[in-house]
Structure 1
Amino acid sequence: MATTSKPYKNKASLPMVAEAALIAPYQPLYNDSISLLMSSKSGLSAKAALDFLSLSGFSREEFQDTFKTNVKTIQNYASNSSKLDASLSEKLLKSFSLFEKGIEIFGSAKAFHQWLNTPSYGLGHQIPFDIMDTFTGITLIEEELIRIAYGDLA
């Protein structure tokens, strides 16, 4: 019995290791408000957007709707080693932070992505993904995650 549960545990932890590896390089950039501000103003590499796309499980269309940019454009920027503008950089960093919290609460990016597409009582029965395209929406989702983490669901 112990032999069969050990490989299962290893399989379950592999995605989390990959998710953590995608988030880790960006954590210091959003750790506090000053880091977030300075990192955003400096501009992230376009690779950050591609890393977020891999982490989030968003389809190309979901990514494009949320970030108001084309994936093909981001790929071109990445191949040219171009930086993203401050607004897009900030939204990406806040989204990395949001996914870090979501993964912590729901156990995986996939489970968090599923929650993002389910109406949420604490958000007035709105679908969290539908409000993630604004900074205020991201903040409201963060607040809802904090309520969920503390068991304040009503």
Structure 2
Amino acid sequence: MHTSTYIPPQPTANAVPVGNRLSALQLIDRSRQGLVGTEAGHIASLLAITDKEMARLLNQSVATFHRQAKAGRLDAATSERLLLLNQLATYGATVFQDQGKFTRWLRRPLRLLGERTPLDLLDSLTGIQLVDDILGRIEYGVFS
């Protein structure tokens, strides 16, 4: 079983923008264009997760994840999820002012989430939004 963390690929002309939140329409357009397969590895490294964990977040088997990571373009649904995860990783690093602190927080069980970790919820679009909302609360000092 292969569970190593992906090494980030070199940025390409179609790379996911780092540090910029996409508008809803930009997100839709980028998703429909499809991301380059290697972007999945880049985003996995931002989240400090293994390929097995990334496959789970994308609701895929590890074999499918590996096959898609080598593909030219990803489908719209996978691209959308990756774009949202990228935005979340960038936002989390901004809120915590450190990528490492953010990725450690992702693995910490939270009472607010019924003792689940934020990472446990990132396999659904609703979970991604919930984690994003919690980050907003932390950023503005209303986290309870």
Q: Distance in 2 between matches of 1:78 and 1:42?
A: 16
Within 5 Å, give how 1:1-154 maps onto structure 2: 25-27=15-17, 31-79=22-70, 81-154=71-144
Q: Distance in 2 between matches of 1:99 and 1:151?
A: 19
Highest CA radius of gyration, 1 or 2? 1
Aligned amino acid, residue 143 of structure 2: L
Change (3 A) 1:151 1:47: same
Q: Which runs of 5+ in 2 are unaligned?
A: 1-7
Q: Distance in 2 between matches of 1:68 and 1:124?
A: 22
The structure in which a higher percent of residues are helix is 1
Query: How much identity, in percent, do the aligned residues show?
Result: 30
Q: Which runs of 5+ in 1 are unaligned?
A: 1-17
Change (3 A) 1:87 1:108: same
Aligned residues: 132
Q: Which moved more, 1:56-65 or 1:32-41?
A: 56-65
C-alpha root-mean-square deviation of aligned residues, in Å?
2.4
